[in-house]
Structure 1
Amino acid sequence: MSLDPDYRTVSLKLSEVLNDTGVSERMVLKRRRMYLLMETMQTSIYRMSNHNYSHYHFGSKSEGSTTIGLKSDIDSLICYNDYNVIKDWTEWQPGSINLLMIKDETTSPGYCLLQHLGDDKPLPSLLHHRPDNKYHTFSRGKVLWKNTAISVPLAGSVKNGPATSLQGRPGLVDDDVVLSFHCKSWPVEAQPWLVRQGVGRWPTEKMKKYCETTGCFVVPVGSKSGLNEEVEWRISTCHAERCLMFNLNITQLRCYTLMKMILKTFIKPCCGGVLSSYMCKTVLFHCIQNKHSNNWRQSNLLACLMSCLKILQNFVRHENCPHFIIPENNLMAVKISPHNKHKILEILQNIIQCEGHALLEIPIDDLGRRLQAKMNMDEAFPYYLTPAQINTIISTQLLYRTANLISNSHRELLVKGTMPDRIVMLHQILSDYIFILTRMYRENGFNSLEKSVFKILTPLLSFSLGSVIASQDINTARIISHKALSWFSVGLNSDVASGRLKLASALYCVGDMERTEIVLRNTEEKYDLNTVEPVCGCYPHLLHYIKPEFLNKCNTGNEELLKHITAFCVRFLPCEINCVPEELKYEMFRSTQEDMLERDEDNDCWMDWAVVDSLPYLYFLQYKTYGALQRVADKQRALANLVTSTETEANLGHRETALNLLGQCMEQENQHIDALHCYMISLNIQARNNAANILICRLLNELVNMQ
């Protein structure tokens, strides 16, 4: 079997295959939009929490240069903005932590040392009077920052160069987190790049001018081949590289994607990770710079790929992959053993000589078999996933990840507001959050991502504020004030259900059953059982089954869809206890002293709250409300729906809580055995931090007393 010798035909078919697997202009733009939105949201959360950090998503997922089958990691960079990293003394700022980027004859190319300067005068720091500590060391007459001074303290993480990697989490994508400082100035080593020009006349002068404004990051890792590994910091131009990636055409992105598939299929199994996707990106940049721009078209994709592989082969042969912007930095330094070098050169030579035949062997995304089918070599090829299905899966992954981030962001902001020393100020803290979001909204352009973040987070914070005020109202006067109702109204459309259910819960607790019933009926009408998926950011949550209509909807838009197709879990803080029905209050006391000792300090703070999925809570409130209104048939319908949703809704995040509510409903129906059964199933799901332990003891006590 051989490919059509006409490169043009093969290239066009190969372009079609990659288009079918999601490397299309539409999906690339969608990936970029959603990841830029997520990084803007995370940065906004830092600002609202009084942390001067910025969050960035770099790498394949945010560039759009990946496929489902490549299973790319998520690359996150967190920048600490409180540090003033400078390249010369004129940039020193009083009152800041000033770090001067310096080099000497022993510093590795592409790396720097960070000299600590004085806070009150632009002079070297006098910290050398103290002994070495975890932040500083005194070397060559200067106080230098160690690159171990900042790290990500994440449980279960491993170090991977400058990144802290969260790996092996079932059903979740690996996440690489890099901490950094930012320097506003373009690095000295990169100055020649601004004037260097290749035959491709790429990057353009406009792109270089923008790149220069992005400055650089310094990340905490030293060169393995250098003499100062503990105090060297790598200079990263990833912001400029993002600009370059965002200016590639679709053929260039497909070429890069193919290189990563070749790396993963042929080189990684026998040589491990000696070559990286970043090296492939660097190869692509060099190739584009030295190739006429009219070569980068779909009908020439195969020839462009071969050109890139030849450059990669040459880099491996000389064991030198020059960084695109700082070419003195050899990305392959001390990376390739003689054995691996021989194997890689042999593999690349075979792929280049066969002129595309090797692509038929790539199993990732069924690329080889799809290409065979396009070339009419295997007309019976069964498409496991159609292009439409692939686009739908990518869209769903993007939107569901965004929805989870929204839920996590809401939870994180509430946690910050419920610290022991801040609980009395929660009303003011929530108001401050909304004020900060509003200010960001006014300061940015009409179509900015900050405005989208405002529209997403403001309703969630508004109904939380409304509920806090309502709880205070109920405690003092057994009413809900107009102020609380106004904040509730702003939050009604946060998603399909959670804002409305917070309002219904407050109305129920104040005894206004008629208005409670109206709100619940309206919520049920909006909650399309065939479409809406629950979203919970409390646990690492795996999707077990996704509703077909949810999938279809995800492919029709971006974040604006979420308020129509998702239902966030409903959260009540301890200070909202007067808005919580008696049956749900048990969740606030779910943990024994032993449970508390086993908690994860960062992730389990919400366990002192009452948290429940929207759908079972909707039916529970209906059961209680119809009971109070003496509408027996409606009450029994609500109970039946509560049973069904608890048993069959695949993606509930708090199924144990739903079972605890159902068990208490069964008790009220005098079905004590069924109630006990609910509590036991609940404990099987969540053995620790579960109110079922209390409910079982209470039920058994009642049964004994009845006898």
Structure 2
Amino acid sequence: MSEIPDYTRNVSLSLSKVLDEIGVNERMVIKTRRLQLMNESLCTLAHKLKDEDEDGNMYTLGSRVEGTTTLGLNSDTDLLFTLAAYTVIQDLSEWEPGKINLLMIQDDTVSPGYCLLQILRQDAPLPEDNVYDQYWYRDRIGRVLLKNAIVNSRAGAEFVRHGPAQSMDEMPGFYGNDLVLAILCQQWPLQARQWIAQQGEGQWPTYDMKQYCKDMGCFVVGVGGKDSENEELEWRISTSLAERYLMFNLNITQIRCYVLMKMILKSFINTQCPDSISSYMCKTVMLHCISSTENHAWNENTLLICLNYCLTILYNCVLNENCPHFIIPENNLMARRFTPVTKQVILGTISYILSSKGSALLEIECDQLGFRIQNTFLRLVEIVPEDMSCEISGNLVGDIGLFVNELHLDFLKHTNNISHIRVLLQTLYKYLMKLTHYMNQGQNKLACSALAKFLSMHLGSALASMNIHSQVGLCRESTVLMSLCLNVDLISSKVKLASIFYCTGEIERAELILKNIEESYDHNVVEPICQCYDFKHKKSKRAFDKLCYEADDEYTLLQSITASCVKFLRYEINCCPHELQHEMFRSPQQDLPYRGKNDEWMDMAVVDSLPYLYFLQYKTYSHLRRHRDKQAALSNLAKCIIEEPFSDTKIQH
């Protein structure tokens, strides 16, 4: 390290310090990965519960789960969902009964990194001879192949096709979502087997890491190679899970180098040549650089050297119009990517950055990077290092709360139209039993617990509503189920229980619960969470963000500092006061064809937790003839409506 010039070392250390300040540090990377993987488990379990594709899995990919993004980069959420009805095999001996078996074909007619999928019979490992629908195609030598357009039929209407991804249009204040529908292949692809045996100068990835990647298998996604004669028949081979695993094994300097490359891409290249170079290309270039250098070369003292090395390799890739895929090098990511003018602009831009010896980074406005670099030398303002990490932590924890609520709302949508209470109870019991089964299989226990609590709450509430209607009083099973889910969050389930007691005439019990809730509700900390409609408001409370940053068990913290809205479905009509019951019938149903995907609440009674708390207090104190407390509750309700941003959903999703 003594051979590193002082200027380079100082700039590298300043860059490392600034990136630490904006949340690119080991603590935040680990926290981000942990919470994004929690979201992944929640989404997979939700799909399995509803029997939509019971063996299908949802994977979170890209920058957000890798921990390689910042608030300013504003990266999309990349999701990959496997279609469980299909399986891709590379040899007839792998054929599985009961599934649509697809034989992977990689020959001279297929672009490198792509394959064809030949359909096999379901009763025997033999080629299928019939063409059953528009997604099956018989080629000139008689093979029945699956068209990649079939992925369009499996995506929702709100998604737009962009390459292999179904992209949901981004709304103001929200992250975009890219959903890739994929088919799993248990075996490592032939085109990638040479990578297992090769070893770069840096001895990275190690042999054990490569074997782990191999055991993951691969996916095929529905997009063909550009300018291919078989574009509608080709499927791209994706090693995205292996790449995610490799990214999880980078050190913090390597992660910071990749973040800087993406900032340069956003600030210098995409402003002049949009869609010319992707962040995936930058990632690929960096992985090649890591594999060709010793691991000790990547440290805080050498960050600028590492960045310039990656930019030099990127320059050569653009110059030669060849960026080899890291695992399947025959697949050129830059093939036919640039016009001559675009190419010269990109080369000139990279040359300018390289020749600047780091000073070009001062021009980057993303996350105030340039200003922050200057500030490390000039000390223009005092910066609290944890500020951005706290804000990111608040967003992450809020994301979990919002996502759980989104899945909760989705379940309710599937059960709200069940007209017979017995069928409803059977459905909710079935969901709970499946969650118990998945938990016993070792799947994410926190994710199972989160969904089980919401289901238990509605099961207990449905039983209570049935008891109230029959005038038999609350059954023990109902109260036990409700008591199991009182910590879904700080307030919503407890307010719902108080509402049930109020409707059964147990006013004193209702009043006691409401009083305890009010005493525990810290207005400086608690954040409302709601997914009934898409809207973003101002930043979350600083105290909320700080607690999220300091926490190592974010899910437990979520239960004490968030407040979800309270939802009553029609089968819970007897569990809420008559003022709310009318909300369940606000629509004459003629508007059904015109509703959007987030209008499920239209047939429910939905109210934010805090105002509902004060409303119930007003009702209970009226019954108890405590007029001073009644007036205090009414004043709190009015103040809450005016001052609390309870109906604005802040969390970016």
Shorter-chain TM range is: over 0.9
Counterpart in the other structure of 1:39: 40
What does 1:687-706 correspond to in 2, within 5 Å?
none
Equivalent residue pairs, number: 640
Secondary structure at 1:555's aligned position in 2?
A: helix
Equivalent residues in 2 for 1:366-405, closer than 5 Å: 366-374=368-376, 376=377, 378-380=378-380, 382=381, 386-405=384-403
**Residues 540-575 of structure 1: CA deviation (Å, up to 9, x unaligned):** 131335233222222221222111011111111111
Bigger CA drift: 421-430 or 240-249?
A: 421-430
Task: Establish whether residue 19 from structure 1 lines up as the match of residue 15 from structure 2.
Answer: no
User: CA offset at residue 154 of structure 1?
Assistant: 4.3
2:246 maps to what in 1?
244
Paired residues of 1:544 and 1:651 also in contact (CA < 8 A) = no
1:91 equivalent to 2:94? Answer yes
CA pair 42-396 structure 1, distance change in 2 beyond 3 A: same
Shift in Å, 1:265:
1.2
How far apart in 2 are the matches of 1:544 and 1:507? 36
Structure 2 partner of 1:149? 150
Work out whether residues 532 and 600 of structure 2, in 8 Å CA contact, stay in contact via their aligned partners in 1.
Answer: no
Structure number with the bigger relative contact order (C-alpha 8 A, sep ≥ 6) is 2
Deviations 1:446-487 (A, max 9, x none): xx7x11113322222211111011111112234101110110
1:638 aligns with 2:633: yes
The aligned counterpart of 2:499 is 505
Decide whether aligned partners of structure 1 residues 291 and 39 sit closer, same or farther in structure 2, where only a CA change above 3 A counts. same
The aligned counterpart of 2:139 is 139
Give deviations 1:391-445, integer Å, cap 9, x for gaps.
111001111111100111111122223344776422122222222222222222x
The answer as to 2:418 corresponding to 1:428 is no
Q: Is the CA contact 1:545–1:650 (under 8 Å) kept in the aligned structure 2?
A: no
Unaligned runs of 5+ in 2: none
Conserved? CA contact 1:79–1:181, under 8 Å = yes
Q: Taking structure 1 as reference, are residues 4 and 269 closer, same or farther at Cα in structure 2, changes over 3 Å only?
A: farther
* 2:566 maps to 1:563: no
Question: How does the TM-score come out when normalised to structure 1?
Answer: 0.88
Query: What does the per-residue CA deviation read over 1:471-504, in whole Å, with 9 as the maximum and x for residues that have no partner?
Result: 1111223410111011011011111111111211
Deviation at 1:507, TM superposition (A): 1.1
Q: Which amino acid letter does the alignment assign opposite residue 440 of structure 1? A: Y
Distance 2:87 2:155 in 1: 23
Deviations 1:116-167 (A, max 9, x none): 1101011111223x5xx43211113111111110126445543321112223
CA distance in 2 between counterparts of 1:40 and 1:419 reads 27
Q: What is the TM-score normalised by the length of structure 2? A: 0.95
Question: 1:404-553 residue pairs with structure 2 within 5 A?
Answer: 404-420=402-418, 424-444=422-442, 450-553=444-547
1:40-439 to structure 2, matched below 5 A, reads 40-51=41-52, 52=54, 53-128=56-131, 130=132, 133-140=133-140, 141-151=142-152, 153-155=155-157, 157-374=159-376, 376=377, 378-380=378-380, 382=381, 386-420=384-418, 424-439=422-437
Structure 1 segments unaligned to the other structure (5+ residues):
655-707
Range moving further from structure 2, 290-299 or 273-282:
290-299
SS for the counterpart of 2:386 is helix
Deviation at 1:168, TM superposition (A): 3.4
What is the identity, as a one-letter code, of the residue corresponding to 2:379?
Answer: E
For residues 544-623 of structure 1, the aligned pairs below 5 Å read 544-557=538-551, 558-600=554-596, 602-623=597-618
Q: Which one has the largest radius of gyration? A: 1
Q: Determine the C-alpha separation between the residues in 2 that align with 1:244 and 1:458.
A: 33
Cα distance between partner residues in 1 of 2:86 and 2:157: 26
The amino acid of 1:610's aligned partner reads A
In 1, Cα distance between equivalents of 2:135 and 2:246: 35
CA separation in 1, counterparts of 2:469 and 2:493? 21
Q: Give me the whole-angstrom Cα distance separating, in 2, the residues matched to 1:468 and 1:593.
A: 23
Q: Deviations over 1:232-262 (max 9, x none)?
A: 1111000000110000001111111111111
Q: Distance in 1 between matches of 2:79 and 2:471?
A: 49
% same residue: 47
CA change 1:598–1:77 in 2 (3 A) is same
Q: Return the offset for 1:513.
A: 0.8
Q: Over aligned residue pairs, what C-alpha RMSD do you find?
A: 1.8
Shift of 1:606: 2.9
**CA deviation after TM superposition for structure 1 residue 12, in Å:** 1.4
C-alpha contact 1:538 1:653 (8 A) present in aligned 2: no
Given residue 562 of structure 1, which amino acid in structure 2 is its aligned partner? L
